[in-house]
Amino acid sequence: MRRAELACALAIVAFAAIFAWYAQELPIGWVKGEGPGGGFFPFWLSVIMGTVAVAVGVQEFLKSPAPRQAAERFFTEGGLRQVLLIAIPGFIMVALIDVISTYLAAMIFLFYYTRLVGKHSWPIVILVTVAVPVGIFLLFEKFLLIPLPKGYLDEFFYILY
């Protein structure tokens, strides 16, 4: 956990540095006649954040490690696997949305998780895989009139309108 804390603090400092860099694209000081420039707020926020993050890192560093705490791992046993099992396919699903439409991407994802991870029976798998995208279609497209991205398969959906 200690390593993770220090890594996170470091990441935040890096984030602050990048942010500060891009912030100074707009004036960070006082613009004559206009007041504080556009970069003022983000720049000084990054500076403060970087400082506080360093403080957090130092605080963590100085903590005398009690043996049990130092051994506490960031990921529990088997936990990392479970998280990756849902996170990575989630990202893949979003990537697919712009190619084969929200509904197909969702169907693939739902099928994957309920069948391969959840190991549910076929009736439930099929029910979920079909019902959820249909439900979302009816709710968002028909009721709320928010068209969802359909990637390259736009034309195929015209019949539904």
Closest alpha carbon to 102 in 159, 140, 142? 140
Options 69, 70, 71, 82; binder of other proteins; rule CB under 8 A? 82
Contact assessment for residue 103 and residue 137, using Cβ atoms and an 8 Å cutoff: yes
- 109: exposed, middle or buried (C-beta count within 10 Å: 0-12, 13-18, 19+)? buried
Cβ 6 to other proteins, closest distance in Å? 10
- Touching other proteins, residues 40-79 (CB under 8 A): 40-42, 45-46, 48-49, 52-53, 55-56, 59, 74-76, 78-79
Alpha carbons 90 and 84: distance in angstroms, whole number: 9
Using CB under 8 A as the binding rule, whether residue 102 contacts other proteins is answered as yes
Alpha carbons 55 and 60: distance in angstroms, whole number: 9
Per-residue binding letters, 119-138, with other proteins (x by CB under 8 A):
xx---x---x---xx--x--
Query: Two tokens at 71?
Result: 């051994």
Cβ proximity to other proteins, 11 vs 156, nearer residue? 11
Cβ 63 to other proteins, closest distance in Å? 12
Contact assessment for residue 93 and residue 105, using Cβ atoms and an 8 Å cutoff: yes
Options 3, 10, 17, 30; binder of other proteins; rule CB under 8 A? 30
Options 17, 70, 71, 94; binder of other proteins; rule CB under 8 A? 94
Contact assessment for residue 130 and residue 119, using Cβ atoms and an 8 Å cutoff: no
- CA distance to 22, 35, 37, 56, 75, per residue, from 31 (Å): 18, 5, 6, 34, 49
Contact positions toward other proteins, by CB under 8 A?
Answer: 1, 4-5, 8, 12, 18-19, 22-23, 25-26, 30, 34-42, 45-46, 48-49, 52-53, 55-56, 59, 74-76, 78-80, 82-83, 85-87, 90-91, 93-94, 97-98, 102, 106, 109-110, 112-114, 117-120, 124, 128, 132-133, 136, 139-140, 144-146, 148-149
